[in-house]
Structure 1
Amino acid sequence: MKRIAQTIKLRPEHREEYLELHSAVWPGVEAALRRANIRNYSIFLHGDILFAYFEYHGEDFEADMATVEADPETQKWWKLTDPCQESWPDRGEARQWSDIPEIWHLSTPDDDTTA
């Protein structure tokens, strides 16, 4: 399992629209994420900063992300959500959100191989 953290800015003038969209994410968008082996996906908001966390449980992250990007319902969803967001200038090759490197993790007892 791979843990992914990402961030992006929320445009203040689109705050209510973005929150309303995420109060009822389309089932087809959620299904596309599940098919791409995404689990435990959360988006948090602090001021105008969005923080996302999800877990990837597949074998080919790039291929699975390509299936999400090719999903027609997800593309329609992004046409609504993308204008609400402002990418960080240093996002690199990312489509929209910037990846955040993990620098520390406290494992659960089930993950502890030293016991």
Structure 2
Amino acid sequence: MQRHGQLIGIGTEAIAEYKALHAAAWPQVLETITACNIRNYSIFLKEPENLLFAYFEYVGEDFDTDMARMAADPVTQQWWDRCKPLQRPLDTRADGEWWAELNEVFHHD
């Protein structure tokens, strides 16, 4: 199992809409997340900095293939089209990233 943390900004004016979207997340998007071996997926909001922190556990064997499969799903693409305009990617993210990947520095079970 791999643990992943990600960070992105969100506009102040977008917070209510983002929360509403995720309070009624589309079932097919959730099914795709599960089918792509993602478990224990959470998104947290830090105000007033307006940062979203995502955490998930990957339980598959080929992360890149599973993420490509998720990205190819038409319903997931529609979901992202709704969410992306609300998000503010960090200027310091790596090339090719939307959400900035975080490096784990400590874990305790």
TM-score normalised by length of structure 2: 0.95
2:38 aligned residue: 38
**Rounded Cα–Cα distance in structure 1 between residues aligned with 2:64 and 2:36:** 10
Which contiguous aligned blocks of 4+ residues in structure 1 show a shift greater than 3 angstroms?
Answer: none
Bigger Cα Rg: 1
Q: Percent identity?
A: 46
Match of 2:67 in 1: 65
- Report SS of the residue matched to 1:59: coil
Structural RMSD (CA):
0.8
The one-letter code matched in structure 2 to 1:57 is V
Give 1:94 shift.
3.8
What residue in structure 2 maps to residue 21 of structure 1?
Answer: 21
For 1:111, the equivalent position in structure 2 comes to: none
Deviations 1:43-95 (A, max 9, x none): 00011110000000000000000001000000000111000000001211344
Structure 2: tracts of 5 or more residues without a match: none
| Deviation of the 1:105 alpha carbon | 0.6
Gaps of 5+ in 1: 108-115
> What letter is aligned with 2:21?
L
Counterpart Cα distance in 1 of 2:95 and 2:63 = 15
1-side partners of 2:95 and 2:107: how far apart?
A: 26
